[in-house]
Structure 1
């Protein structure tokens, strides 16, 4: 089987070929190349992005992480306290950055060019299959979330146009069924290159929602702001589910290997620049959204923040985001299907292609209709499948390779990595379970 190919295919499909090889703006020593000497800072920062540049790579990495999960962040302080959530946001960012570093360190050291290939090299073929199954489960859950959000957003738009609220359940089931029927032909497509622009549209819509939330707070809330309503700390078991749901927002590790392979003169230092800028930008956006969203509604903050708003600007945002969710399903179903076909060694079978598409499309659709708890699924994805992909496997393979090199268990790097893997893993798994109980 050629499972190692699935990582590159998965990542490239998730980002619709967003990153391609070409000359970068910086040399290995960090000096500007001759081609950029005549460009002003403004042009280098805001001008057209060259394929394969650091800036293009940063945006591609952010696109892999940012999406529907961030809309649930403003509701986290309701159950865990604002300061706790800010700290968890920073911790999750550091954990994500840490795992990127050890993955790239191992990839450069042992000349491995995909996540699946690195897992096979360090842990063997069986763990490579385990990794592929984990990726399938993760994308499967993401597809369920997209379908849930699509129906919820469509319902919110219908409510704005005075649709009878007593038909909510009917809209969920009938709308979900219609969604699966209409979406199926798109999911059957093998080549989704024409959908590559939806990634950039997603970023624009997220920026629009973020700016609108901040403006809403400044106009409608700031004058009558009551700081006594703020819950700063709340130490309870739901902290673990908040951790798991927050961690979901920093999972973009499917893309780091394609970025590394497509950057000209790729080095660990330059990859670190990409990681730092992407994680920092994500953290700023998430914190801004969470703080202003929560402070606008306090204990009345909905699980999905845009459900709190019913004015025209947010109705437009809901319609646009529903549009993005429609195409997010086939974009994520395609690599998941490819991984399934590679696992069963049926890559060239049309029959297997159709059956796997039907199963993925309609199984996720049925789950979305009967279990429309999107925040609980965010916790499950971040706490188990994402945690395995981002923390458990990277820590395990790093320690294994270091021990093979002759390092001892007493080595400080091994001890720190082991502790991070154990603590984060247990917290994430616990949070995934708790999210099913309390969300």
Structure 2
């Protein structure tokens, strides 16, 4: 009934806006001219379509982690992987639901402002810092792929050796060129919705990647001599080409954090919501559900067809596994290029929430200004490029950031926002929704503790190996 009232009210446009004041905020459209709403989020009418919003959110979800899903399946088995993937996808949808409910009650569509409303200035700063650290780590990981993969693609295309001293074979120069020529112009877009077309093209590149993975499953025979190091007369183990449905080993415990991080898109949810045409909670929730479902399907098919190609020989980076079969495979070379394009076009989408977080901290309440818009983009891209160029191995930094910020963005902050922002007279603490939100928050702390524990064990075992020789 509420949706029918809203649809009728929309026919009168601006004339009927004041009349919607009596509708419950979480069920009604946000008021673009509401006097107590922050002007920086209501100074324009959202014009981004449903499809463009799905492209942007899907592109925010899609990351380089898709290359490691087949390896994750090899350490869990098909059925256990599917169960874990389904659980994480459902939890991500529920997390978006909590964010939208919290934003609907207070009429705010900014992650940092929700932190301010829930915990005051410290909550606002904490949310902004978490978003900034997480997305800088994501941008850096994408540019690291460009740094190491693009020279290999150019090397193969030109038929040159890996030891070539040509400047265009230097990854450091290449990431600067890619940043200046592709990422920076896209990062200058005023609104995130304008990136819908580039996000759509990025997703097409990943669909091509998935198509090749499926094709190669029926094109590459098992067993592979390059992995087994078996002679012609040596018998192979019986389980070399046997799919496992359930398996537990030392690497299995890493699967849950990997899958959880694969669905991190929550810093982009509220900015996309802000620019959505005809913005309602249900419409934005449908965008989140469609995006997560699409990525769920793509993740599962990529994982299972990659795993059924290499079985227990699947490596952590799937494209590297294909290259060990045939380094000069033209189709795999095209896939490498497609993945490079996809991650490059994802960087501007990830940059937008960082810029908004910095604006919330440094310039709260200020109207849009092109100089600030451009300057923050320049500083962010300059800093990320320096990080990628001068830090040879930031795996541990990424590990710490990912183990702390990803659970915070998916589980902890949405749950806490919901508990603090939803009025107690509407939903007391012993109500089912708030009990669920409390359990959801606790699950985030469990994930964080588990991930940090794994990293600590890795560091200790690494030190033991370094002291113990080979």
Measured against the shorter chain, the TM-score band is 0.7 to 0.9
2:57 to 30, 54, 61: 61
Deviation at 1:113, TM superposition (A): 2.3
Distance 1:66 1:295, change over 3 A: same
**1:78-227 equivalences in 2 (<5 Å):** 78-157=74-153, 160=156, 163-164=160-161, 167=163, 175-183=170-178, 185-186=180-181, 191-192=188-189, 197-221=197-221
* Residue in 1 that maps onto 2:281: 268
Q: Which has the larger radius of gyration?
A: 2
The verdict on how the C-alpha distance between 1:295 and 1:182 changes in structure 2, with shifts beyond 3 A counting, is: same
Q: Confirm or deny: 8 A CA contact 1:202 1:324 kept in the other structure.
A: yes
What SS is found at the alignment partner of 2:130? helix
Taking structure 1 as the reference length, the TM-score comes to 0.75
Distance 1:198 1:338, change over 3 A: same
Q: Deviations along 1:100-149, whole A, 9 cap, x unmatched?
A: 11111122222222222222112212111111111111111112211221
Question: Shift in Å at residue 340 of structure 1?
Answer: 3.9
Contact 2:57 2:265 in 1 (8 A): yes
Structure 1 stretch displaced more, 108-117 or 340-349: 340-349
For the residue of structure 1 that corresponds to 2:315, the secondary structure is coil
Higher mean displacement: 381-390 or 297-306: 381-390
CA contact (8 A) 2:411 2:441 kept: yes
Find the counterpart in structure 2 of residue 318 from structure 1.
336
- Superimposed CA distance per residue, residues 47-75 of structure 1 (whole angstroms, 9 cap, x where no aligned partner): xxxx6443333333212211322122111
Could you say if the C-alpha distance between residues 52 and 353 of structure 1 is closer, same or farther in structure 2, counting changes exceeding 3 Å? closer
Matched, 1:401 2:424: no
Tell me how many residue pairs correspond in the alignment. Answer: 391
Shift of 1:90: 0.8
Deviation for aligned residue 1:329: 4.3
Structure 1 residue 295: Cα displacement: 1.1
Aligned counterpart in structure 2 of residue 288 of structure 1, from 298, 301, 316: 301
CA distance in 1: counterparts of 2:71 and 2:167, whole angstroms? 23
Q: What does residue range 315-394 of structure 1 map to in structure 2 within 5 Å?
A: 315-326=333-344, 328-329=346-347, 332-333=350-351, 336=354, 339-340=357-358, 343-345=361-363, 357-367=381-391, 369-371=392-394, 373=395, 382-394=402-414
Q: Say whether the 8 Å CA contact 1:210–1:289 is kept in structure 2.
A: yes
SS of 2:170 mapped into structure 1: helix
Distance 1:297 1:152 in 2: 23
Shift of 1:94: 0.9
**Alignment CA distance shift 1:383-1:82 (3 Å):** farther
Structure 2: which 5+ residue stretches go unaligned?
9-46, 225-237, 324-328, 463-470
Tell me, which stretches of 5 or more residues in structure 1 are unaligned?
1-26, 34-50
Give the TM-score, by structure 2 length. 0.71
Q: Mark the CA change 1:359 to 1:272 in structure 2 (over 3 Å): closer, same or farther.
A: closer
The residue number in structure 1 matching 2:431 is 411
